[in-house]
Amino acid sequence: MRDKIKIFRAVFARTLDYADGDFIKHCAKWGLDTYDLLNQHERILATADAGDEGHFIYAVTLARIVGEFGKLAFGDFFSDEAKILLHPLGLHFEDIECYLEEDMGTEHREELRHGNYVKAQDVWSSMQELKTEIHRSLVVIYRDKEEKDPILVIFVSLMKIFEMSDEKTSETMTPDVSTSRETAAYAYVDQWFL
């Protein structure tokens, strides 16, 4: 079994543009907890021809959800340009090749194979499909747990990622967010992370 924690932490670190390593670990923990919740409720989509047991595409997708949410809620910088190197994850290009865009040109595919890396746009279709499935699954799980508003539960779980503790008072605070940003972030969650 591949090291799921190592994959999640490394993917989150490469995907999210935050300087604070502890915060990135905190974000990755949300991703791991979400993955484990989906797995516990048998909501993980298996990819028969993936050599990574699905961890890579879930890590990329969940990191993207955190990054897009942070951009909408707090104006954080988020880019599609980060290279995710596969070797440090214990992966080879062949392990994740099934996630690549089907219409990718041969030259670009060989560049990725030779460099043993990918960028978000290289796995865009797989990621978008999985974002929708993750959303659908979380809503089902929270409804089964008799949550009145599954969308609100998801939204609050994402907001909690960005909470900070005041070192002097130990109070937990969420960074200031304008009403328009909060509305945009809630709409992102409500509209299937799209």
Number of domains in the chain: 1
**Residue 118: closest CA among 135, 98, 134:** 98
Task: Give bridge partners of residue 118 from the DSSP assignment.
Answer: 84
Q: How far is Cα of residue 101 from the mean position of the Cα atoms in its chain?
A: 18
From first to last of its 194 residues, the chain has per-residue pLDDT tens of 468 999 999 999 999 988 888 899 999 999 999 999 999 999 998 665 667 778 999 999 999 999 999 999 998 888 888 899 999 999 999 999 999 999 999 999 999 999 999 999 999 999 999 999 999 999 999 999 999 999 999 999 999 999 876 666 667 766 778 799 999 999 999 998 98
- In this structure, what token pair is assigned to residue 142? 């929270």
Angle at 129 between CA 96 and CA 92, to 5 degrees: 5
15 within 8 A of 64, measured Cβ to Cβ:
yes
**pLDDT at residue 20, rounded to an integer:** 87
E strand spans, the chain: 84-85, 117-118, 164-165, 172-173
Residue 78: predicted pLDDT: 85
Domain encompassing residue 41: 4-190
